[in-house]
Amino acid sequence: MDESNPYAPPQAAVQDVADPSAWIEPAERGTRLGAAILDSLIIGVGVYLPAMIGFAVIASSGGGEEAGLAAALLLGLVGFSIWGWYTYRFVSENGQSIAKRLLGIKVIRRDGSPASVGRIFWLRNVVNGLIGIVPLYGIVDILFIFGESRECLHDKIADTMVVKA
């Protein structure tokens, strides 16, 4: 004889969800700072330096300022395209900028899942950049890293965190 109650509510087996804080190690503050500085240097060397050299060479060789500006724009766009391709590739693969990859850290969601390119681009960069027009916001954003969770304000906005890769 079947002892199940046909009037009982349906039941499901629920699996426990692991607490991500038990296995996720946040990146060190100094490593995050180093990655931010290194990313700035990479874009400076890869985009601005070729543009400045192109302008200087063409303008000084008698090509004129217009030709120098055109060369600077072209070389800057080439450098930006190369930087953008590598950055997109690394972010889509593992949530890392070029410098984050070199320093062994990455961006993930706070629940431990991978952060999408859209979340990183729109929430961590675009929205944060728009809020950045508020005076002193940039300083406040950076100072949040000294909290217990080691998260900047843009991490809280995007529901992300930077961890050791």
Give the C-alpha separation, 86 to 90, whole Å.
Answer: 6
Give the C-alpha separation, 16 to 30, whole Å.
Answer: 35
Average pLDDT value for residue range 106-134: 95
Average pLDDT value for residue range 112-121: 95
Write out pLDDT tens, residues 13-63: 877 766 666 678 999 999 999 999 999 999 999 999 999 999 999 888 888
Query: Which pLDDT belongs to residue 10?
Result: 84
| First-to-last C-alpha distance (Å) of the chain | 56
Give the C-alpha separation, 39 to 87, whole Å.
Answer: 10
- Helical axes 64-94 vs 49-58, angle rounded to 10°: 160
Query: Which residue in 145, 163, 164, 156 sits closest to 119, CA to CA?
Result: 156
Residue boundaries of the structural domains of the chain: 26-164
The answer to pTM > 0.75 is yes
